[in-house]
A and B are shown apart, each in its own frame.
Chain A
Amino acid sequence: DAKTTQPNSMESNEEEPVHLPCNHSTISGTDYIHWYRQLPSQGPEYVIHGLTSNVNNRMASLAIAEDRKSSTLILHRATLRDAAVYYCILQTFYNQGGKLIFGQGTELSVKP
Chain B
Amino acid sequence: DGGITQSPKYLFRKEGQNVTLSCEQNLNHDAMYWYRQDPGQGLRLIYYSQIVNDFQKGDIAEGYSVSREKKESFPLTVTSAQKNPTAFYLCASSNLPVNYGYTFGSGTRLTVV
Q: Which residues of A contact B (CB under 8 A)?
A: 32, 34, 36, 41-46, 49, 87, 91, 93, 97-105
Contact = CB atoms under 8 A, between A and B. Distances in A.
A32 B96 CA distance: 14
Interface of B: 4, 31, 33, 35, 41-45, 48, 50, 56, 58-59, 88, 90, 92, 94, 96-98, 100-107, 109
Contact of A104 (B31, B33, B42, B97): B42
* Interface core residue of B97, B98, B100, B106 (most chain A CB under 10 Å): B98
A97 B88 contact: no
* Interface core residue of B33, B44, B104 (most chain A CB under 10 Å): B104
Nearest to A32: B98
Grouping DSSP codes into helix (H, G, I), strand (E, B) and loop, the A interface class, with mixed when no group exceeds half, is loop
Nearest to B6: A43
A102 B96 contact: no
B102 A101 contact: no
A102 B98 contact: no
A98 to B, nearest CB: 5
Contacts of B59: 101
Contacts of B56: 97
A17 to B, nearest CB: 23
B92 A43 contact: yes
B40 to A, nearest CB: 9
A46 B45 contact: no
A41 B101 contact: no
A99 B88 contact: no
B14 to A, nearest CB: 23
B101 A46 contact: yes
Given A43-B104, A46-B101, A99-B45, 7 more contacts: A43-B105, A44-B90, A98-B31, A98-B96, A99-B33, A99-B58, A100-B102
Contacts of B35: 102
A24 to B, nearest CB: 15
Contacts of B41: 104
A101 B31 CA distance: 15
B97 A93 contact: yes
